[in-house]
Copies of this chain bind each other. A is one copy, B any other.
Amino acid sequence: MGFSLRELADLCGARLEGDGERIVRGPATLDRAGADEVSFLANPRYAGLMASTRAAGVVVAEDAVVERRDLALLRAEDPNRCFTRVVAAFAAQRPVPEPGVRAGAHVDPGARLGADVSIGPGAVVERDADVGDGAVLLPGSYVGVGASIGAGSTLGAGAALLDGVTVGARCTIHAGAVVGADGFGFEPTREGWVKIPQCGTVVVEDDVEIGANTTIDRARFGATRIGRGTKIDNLVHVAHNVEIGADSVVAAQAGIAGSARIDERVVIGGQVGVAGHVRIASGVRLAGQSGAYGDITEPGDYLDTPARPRREALRRMASAGRAEELAKRVRELERRLERLEGDGR
């Protein structure tokens, strides 16, 4: 649970100056670092903090001038990139469950388990479910009847893949996420709302990440689909029959209504709403809290509710604040005009 500064220097190809034997327990910013932490200086703006930092060692540029003798330095061409490797090394020390079905896990005899899967206590795998090689099911997670999760994927604590849902390889489904609840569809009748049967499924392709407590509903029929490499943050709602293309990003608390189609490499900001049946073209970026109520066919930045191209939206916002000033000028014009009209009589 820690590295010597020498190990870290070797790991990211930095040149070590000073005491390489000191053990550090984690990375930190210069102002926050304690005596058992390693920090970095990439932006010259923070150079002043070098005098006071309590870090054991600091990743700095090749040519950085540092006057303190008590500070070990890890000199690198690109301190940012070097420090990212340092962070990755510590991240790799986070505990990983060992393979095996632990006591307290409930695996139906009719489920298929790949090699080296890890299933925690309280996790449930139902009949006809399929768990790929090396998949990790954390405690309390659920793989429903006929659902599958691919090789190397992780299902977080309490996360649920409901019946028939498919998750690809190398996916991370964070704690509490629910994949495959019924789509929200009801028909109005005289006796009240009658449920529209939801017999479809959800297909999550490879390399997808789905955030904590996010919900992705199953299709009415066919599949709600999350494309390869797409990353979804926490508390996002993806409704039935939505299709999201590859390599898109959906930030926290965004909501995508039924049958919307999000193309590839779309970026959806936090708390954004996308209306039902709307299509969002590849390369569109929707700013936080905006609302897309119609198709967006051109790539670019959009904001506001309803969402407009960024320039138009900013002009409109500026304009909205001008009415007050305009009112003054109109009042002045009216006064002057009245005077002129009086003169003319």
Contacts and interface: CB of A to CB of B under 8 A. Distances in A.
Interface stretch (A4-12, A53-61, A269-277): A269-277
Interface size class of A (residues with CB under 8 A): 35 or more
Contact of A184 (B139, B145, B233): B233
A207 interface: yes
Interface string A153-168: 0001110101110000
A217 B234 contact: yes
Contact of A122 (B90, B124, B182, B319): B124
A138 B122 CA distance: 13
A233 B198 CA distance: 14
Contacts of A212: 178, 181, 215, 217
A65 interface: no
Given A231-B186, A305-B289, A330-B326, A193 B249 contact: yes
A90 B211 contact: no
Interface centre among A275, A323, A340 (most CB of B within 10 A): A323
A293 to B, nearest CB: 8
Given A197-B87, A235-B237, A28 B222 contact: yes
A195 interface: yes
A134 interface: no
Interface in A123-151: 124, 126, 138-140, 142, 144-146
A115 interface: no
A249 B200 CA distance: 22
Interface in A204-244: 207, 209, 211-213, 215, 217, 220-222, 228-229, 231, 233-235, 237, 239
A73 B31 CA distance: 61
Q: How many copies does the complex hold?
A: 3
A199 B305 CA distance: 36
Given A87-B220, A252-B255, A273-B289, A323 B333 contact: no
Contacts of A92: 197
Contacts of A282: none
A91 B198 contact: yes
Given A88-B199, A329-B334, 8 more contacts: A29-B222, A90-B221, A120-B124, A140-B140, A156-B181, A181-B234, A184-B233, A316-B320
Interface of A: 26-29, 32, 84, 87-88, 90-95, 102-104, 106, 120-122, 124, 126, 138-140, 142, 144-146, 156-158, 160, 162-164, 172, 174-176, 178, 181-182, 184, 186, 192-193, 195-200, 207, 209, 211-213, 215, 217, 220-222, 228-229, 231, 233-235, 237, 239, 246-247, 249, 251-253, 255, 257, 270-271, 273, 275, 288-289, 291, 293, 305, 315-316, 319-324, 326-327, 329-330, 333-334, 336-337, 340-341, 343-344
